[in-house]
Structure 1
Amino acid sequence: MTARPDAPHAPEGVAGAETLRLPGHGVDLHAVAAGPPGGPLVFLLHGFPEFWWAWRRQIGPLAAAGLRVVAPDLRGYNLSAKPRDVAAYALDTVTEDVPRMAEALGRDRFAVVGHDWGAIVAWHLAARGEPRLERAAILNGPHPAALSRFLASHPWQVLRLSYFAAFQVPMLPETMLRAGNFAALAGAMRATARTGSFTAADLARYRAAWARPGAVTAMLNWYRAALRHRPRFEERRIATPIRIIWGDRDIALDARLAEAGQALCERAEVFHLPDATHWLHHDQPEEVNRLLLDFLAA
């Protein structure tokens, strides 16, 4: 299968971009693309509870630098397919969506930038030795094996991730997240980001994405699959070049997880942003863009 144009309009808010439908691993994915069609391909992979709009401040600058930028809605989010089975969100499965998209675009080489769950997908691509992956940039997402080791000796980090367990309960999390027009989700994003990082207009877009049929359950299924369908992580060191950019004011993830991931790599560098939160690409987009361009265009 190949990429095909989506509805014939440019996505509002991102100049020069277009929408695409791309086949993933057994699912149909919506994506926004920009930049020269023949430029080096880079996928921007969002996390919970965002969608492609998470990268609105990165798409233009990366495309202007000559990169072919593709920002998909990950499976379960916004306009992408939403399988019902929890197993469809297992890390091995969702990770396979990325090389399948590259194949549909006729590419045998690509880079990835991932945030939150998107960063975990990026880590998994690199850790399994994906041969088409040229480099990966990680934004506030822990290497899963490094996180497991860190949890064993840092009980406070276990408490900070207690929402993983809360999300395992059937239906109740969906009810709570939908309440009051998604008041808890929108409030959490604003409360844990720098002031002004998420505008009312931004949150209106997120609410529209969350309100799509099946979206909330699909988004939560990423967490459910993480505990029910854990992949085996190989102990070999990652050879792919990695750049880790970490917002140190992340309330859920300890900043030391950046170096914990670096320790599992042969060629990795870490950049800490002391004043940025988990939402660093919203908090400090210019600095994040500079670090991404320096890495991706090298």
Structure 2
Amino acid sequence: MSSLATLTHRIIHVNGIALHVALAGSEDAPLVILLHGFPEYWGAWRKQIGPLVDAGFRVAIPDQRGYGNSDKPGSISAYALDTLADDIRELAEHLQAPRFSLVGHDWGGMVAWHLAARDKTAVDRLVILNAPHPASMFLYTLSHPLQMLRSSYIAFFQVPFVPDAVLAARNFALLEKALTRSARPHTFKDAELRAYREAWAQPGAVAAMLRWYRALPLARPHRGLIDAKVRIIWGEADAALEPGLAATALPFCRDADIVRLEKATHWLHHEEPPRVNAALIEFLSPAS
């Protein structure tokens, strides 16, 4: 079955905004919501859609607020962590799934961590790909100088206007390099990069993407123990996040394991889809 051939796209109104959502799979199948990070869009999960649907899941992949074809509110406060989590909770409610599983990468993982801790009865299983728990990232960075250096771009993103212009310059050349130079060679094909540039070219997209970072001072990470079963899949060759960050989330989880991919980078779901998909399906399946 070609699951991408059965992919549908909808505009779904949640939390005062319109989200573009890609959907695949039977409506009565268990729901898995896939959350992308910076600077991606729903297409980041193309290599996971077919295997998950074929394994019996319904898949929903939003362009998160500020990205792709979803709304892009103009205020920084509209990107506070609680608000981002509310988008996803209301999306699940719209899809009539009071209980669902979450898979999040990068910023999508940060949202997923927060939502699973905050709304304990909503999230059944949680899978995190290279995203630190938001309650542990700051202290880890303070005590690990290399991680502080790796995270220095976040300070640049706080500067008004300048990062917006730099990232958009020369047809988004720096954003493209952020993908290709931190991934294994030939991970992102030309057609995929064209699709990324189309997403970045949506009116207001670059500024909206940066508001996720500019709203960091507003974040109030939930520190409660996560009741859902958790799997952390971590690319050890991540140029932005140290391997040690994966384990800092364990004290916030009641039941968690870590799958480490030694040669994978931050873009592990692009680089090693067979291994990532196998780890997802085995963990998300009801018998596990």
Range into which the TM-score falls when normalised by the shorter chain: over 0.9
Kindly provide the amino acid, as one letter, of the partner of residue 139 in structure 2.
R
Q: Is the contact between residue 104 and residue 111 of structure 2 (CA under 8 Å) also seen in structure 1?
A: yes
Give matches, 1:231-270, under 5 Å: 231-234=220-223, 236-270=224-258
| Alignment match of 1:201 (pick from 191, 195, 198) | 191
Q: Which runs of 5+ in 2 are unaligned?
A: none
1:93 and 2:83 correspond = yes
Q: Is the contact between residue 3 and residue 53 of structure 2 (CA under 8 Å) also seen in structure 1?
A: no
| Alignment match of 1:158 (pick from 127, 148, 151) | 148
| Alignment match of 1:183 (pick from 154, 167, 173) | 173
| Alignment match of 2:164 (pick from 141, 163, 174) | 174
Q: Could you say which residue in structure 2 is the equivalent of 1:83?
A: 73
Q: Could you say which residue in structure 2 is the equivalent of 1:37?
A: 27
1:52 and 2:42 correspond = yes
Change (3 A) 1:172 1:154: same
Cα displacement (A) at 1:158: 1.1
Q: Could you say which residue in structure 2 is the equivalent of 1:9?
A: none
Kindly provide the amino acid, as one letter, of the partner of residue 166 in structure 2.
M
Q: Could you say which residue in structure 2 is the equivalent of 1:288?
A: 276
Cα displacement (A) at 1:106: 1.5
Q: Could you say which residue in structure 1 is the equivalent of 2:103?
A: 113
Distance 2:185 2:228 in 1: 35
Distance 1:13 1:264 in 2: 35
Q: Which runs of 5+ in 1 are unaligned?
A: 1-11
* Structure 2 residue matching 1:242: 3-state secondary structure: strand
Q: Could you say which residue in structure 2 is the equivalent of 1:143?
A: 133
Q: Could you say which residue in structure 2 is the equivalent of 1:271?
A: 259
* Structure 1 residue matching 2:93: 3-state secondary structure: helix
* Structure 1 residue matching 2:34: 3-state secondary structure: strand
Distance 1:264 1:212 in 2: 37
Distance 1:207 1:22 in 2: 23
Distance 2:262 2:230 in 1: 20
Distance 1:106 1:238 in 2: 23
Q: Could you say which residue in structure 1 is the equivalent of 2:92?
A: 102
Kindly provide the amino acid, as one letter, of the partner of residue 194 in structure 1.
R
Q: Could you say which residue in structure 1 is the equivalent of 2:57?
A: 67
Kindly provide the amino acid, as one letter, of the partner of residue 170 in structure 1.
P
Cα displacement (A) at 1:264: 2.0
Kindly provide the amino acid, as one letter, of the partner of residue 230 in structure 1.
A
Q: Is the contact between residue 15 and residue 60 of structure 1 (CA under 8 Å) also seen in structure 2?
A: no
Cα displacement (A) at 1:152: 2.6
Distance 1:15 1:197 in 2: 23
Q: Is the contact between residue 25 and residue 94 of structure 1 (CA under 8 Å) also seen in structure 2?
A: no
Q: Give % identity.
A: 49
Kindly provide the amino acid, as one letter, of the partner of residue 197 in structure 1.
T
**Number of matched pairs:** 285
| Alignment match of 2:8 (pick from 10, 18, 36) | 18
Q: Could you say which residue in structure 1 is the equivalent of 2:204?
A: 214
* Structure 2 residue matching 1:245: 3-state secondary structure: strand
| Alignment match of 2:219 (pick from 230, 233, 239) | 230
